[in-house]
């Protein structure tokens, strides 16, 4: 299961399409995504935008790393902010993709690496 969190509906749809047919859940904000995790749905991978409606991506990352179970979930940031190359591993971030430069194959690379491998 992959969580995609992006308030741009069309961008989220594009990212979902790049997920190689894996099961995805799309959320427009961090609160809905965290509520789903609280309900017991644990994603294999989170693809997270940073500038979101409501709490931003870093607020969600802070929330995730503060719990033992969610701290282990790999997160890929998909953002238009200039964060590529920054080491955000303390937030559980395994990769950063720039929205204006990424290709569907870049998303697939992470999907193949982290989804269904457990």
Applying CB under 8 A, the residues found at the interface with other proteins are 7-8, 10-11, 14-15, 17, 51-54, 80, 99-100, 102-104
**First CA to last CA distance, the chain:** 12
68 or 101: whose CB is closer to other proteins? 101
Smallest distance from other proteins to CB 31, Å = 11
Record the tokens describing residue 114, joined without a space: 């982290």
97 or 115: whose CB is closer to other proteins? 97
Determine how many CB atoms are found less than 10 A away from the CB of residue 46: 27
Smallest distance from other proteins to CB 51, Å = 7
């Amino acid at each position: 299961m992959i969580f995609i969190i992006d308030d741009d509906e069309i961008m989220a749809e594009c990212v979902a399409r790049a997920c190689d047919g894996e099961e995805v859940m799309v959320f427009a904000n961090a609160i809905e995504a965290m509520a789903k995790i609280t309900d017991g749905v644990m994603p294999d991978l989170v693809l997270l935008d940073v500038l979101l409606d409501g709490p931003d991506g870093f607020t969600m990352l802070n929330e995730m790393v503060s719990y033992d179970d969610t701290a282990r979930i790999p997160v890929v940031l998909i953002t238009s902010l200039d964060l590529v190359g920054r080491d955000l591993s303390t937030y559980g971030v395994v990769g950063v993709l720039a929205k204006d430069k990424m290709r569907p194959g870049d998303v697939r690379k992470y999907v193949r690496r982290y989804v269904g491998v457990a």
